[in-house]
Structure 1
Amino acid sequence: MAIRTASARWQGTLTEGTGTVRTGKGGVTGNYSFSSRFEEGEGTNPEELIGAAHAGCFSMALSKQLTDAGFPPSAIDTTASVHLEKTDAGMSVTRIGLDTRADVPGIDAAEFAKWAEAAKDGCPISRLLSPGAEITLAATLV
């Protein structure tokens, strides 16, 4: 199977340092810092990258579920909100809220909701993250 890579470089102290992240094939490169992670500073952070991975994985899984069921989607737009909170164990990702809107010709809302739940539970990133974080889903058919 495939092995995917990403890298990060950090220079300096936690609060004053800066870093860069890069996916293995260079599709995503970004700067990050204490400010971009724990405040509202410019740049990205690990939680946003987890959110992007989860949103992408879920959208692809939902597309497969729907297509296999005979309802190929025209478009799926998903946002993942990753909640980083202070817990007794330290800073932790406690919850990820998936919010998806999909254009799926010929399907009703109940059938769509069934396949959206299946995709949430079955996508590889959900399976990775669900033991440690609650994953919620708001799925809207447009």
Structure 2
Amino acid sequence: MPMRRSEAEWTGSLREGGGRMKLGSGAYEGAYSFPSRFENGQGTNPEELIAAAHAGCFSMALSAALTKAGFTPERIHTTASVHLEADGGGFAITRIELVTEASVPGIDDAGFQQQAEGAKANCPVSKALAGTKISLQATLLG
């Protein structure tokens, strides 16, 4: 399996400084700063990138699980919300909420929920973030 790499560089103090994050593939490069991470400033932040990674990983894991169970998904859309909060000694990612909806012909809701929970438990990003509370709301579209 391939190894993936990304990089970041920060210059200056925490509040007045800034940085850039770059994906190893070159598909994304962007600025980040104190305001983009802890307020609503322009730029990205590590939590937003974690959310994108988790949403993408979960969607692929759910597709794989459904396919293995004999169902071909037409569409899976997932949103991941990553919560960064003060934890007494600094900050921590305290929880991640996955919200997914999918069109999957032939499966009933109970079967879909079972596959979605399995995907949440088994996607590599969920495993990497196992110390964080991860919730799932899964909706099977008619």
Same fold (TM > 0.5): yes
Give the Cα separation in 2 of the matches to 1:56 and 1:97. Answer: 14
TM-score calculated relative to the size of structure 1: 0.97
Matched residue, 2:98: 98
* 1:137 aligned onto 2:136: yes
1:14 aligned counterpart, secondary structure: coil
Q: How far apart are 1:88 and its partner, in Å?
A: 2.6
Matched residue, 2:109: 109
Matched residue, 1:126: 126
1:16-55 to structure 2, matched below 5 A, reads 16-55=16-55
TM-score calculated relative to the size of structure 2: 0.97
Give the Cα separation in 1 of the matches to 2:115 and 2:108. Answer: 11
Matched residue, 1:6: 6
Q: How far apart are 1:2 and its partner, in Å?
A: 1.3
Give the Cα separation in 2 of the matches to 1:88 and 1:15. Answer: 19
Give the Cα separation in 1 of the matches to 2:106 and 2:67. Answer: 12
Q: Deviations over 1:48-82 (max 9, x none)?
A: 00010111100000000000101110111101000
Give the Cα separation in 1 of the matches to 2:128 and 2:48. Answer: 16
Give the Cα separation in 1 of the matches to 2:115 and 2:123. Answer: 12
Query: Aligned pairs, how many?
Result: 141
Root mean square deviation, CA, Å:
0.8
Structure 1: which 5+ residue stretches go unaligned?
A: none
* Amino acid in structure 1 at the alignment position of 2:100: T
* Amino acid in structure 1 at the alignment position of 2:98: L
2:128 aligned counterpart, secondary structure: helix
